[in-house]
Chain A
Amino acid sequence: MERVEVHIPSNPIFERVVRASAGEIGEAFGFSVERIEDLKLAVSEAVNNAIEHGNKRETSKPVEVVFALDHEKLEVRISDHGAGVGTLDFSRHVVDERNLEDGMLRGFGSYLISALVDDCEVSSSQTGTVLTLRLYRKGQTQ
Chain B
Amino acid sequence: MMNAIRREEFGEVVVLHIGTPSVDGVSAAAIEAACADMRPITVLDFSDVSFINSSGISSLLKFVVTARKAGYKLFAMNVSPHHQKIFKMVEMSRFMPTIEERDLAIYR
Contacts and interface: CB of A to CB of B under 8 A. Distances in A.
Interface of A: 12-13, 15-16, 19, 34, 37-38, 40-41, 44-45, 48, 93-96, 100, 103, 105-109, 111-112, 115
A105 B61 contact: yes
Interface stretch (B7-15, B40-48, B83-91, B100-108): B83-91
A103 B65 CA distance: 8
Contact of A45 (B26, B54, B65, B81): B54
11 contacts: A16-B22, A16-B26, A34-B81, A95-B61, A100-B68, A105-B65, A107-B54, A108-B57, A108-B58, A111-B90, A112-B54
Main secondary structure of the interface of B (DSSP, over half): helix
A41 B53 contact: yes
B89 A112 contact: yes
Interface range on chain B (Cβ under 8 Å from partner): 20 to 34
Given A95-B94, A100-B64, A109-B53, A44 B89 contact: no
A109 B54 contact: yes
A125 B68 CA distance: 42
A12 B65 CA distance: 25
Given A44-B24, A106-B58, A94 B90 contact: yes
B73 interface: no
A64 B37 CA distance: 40
B5 interface: no
A52 to B, nearest CB: 8
B24 A15 contact: yes
Contacts of B90: 93-95, 108, 111-112
Given A44-B53, A103-B65, A109-B53, A12 B91 contact: no
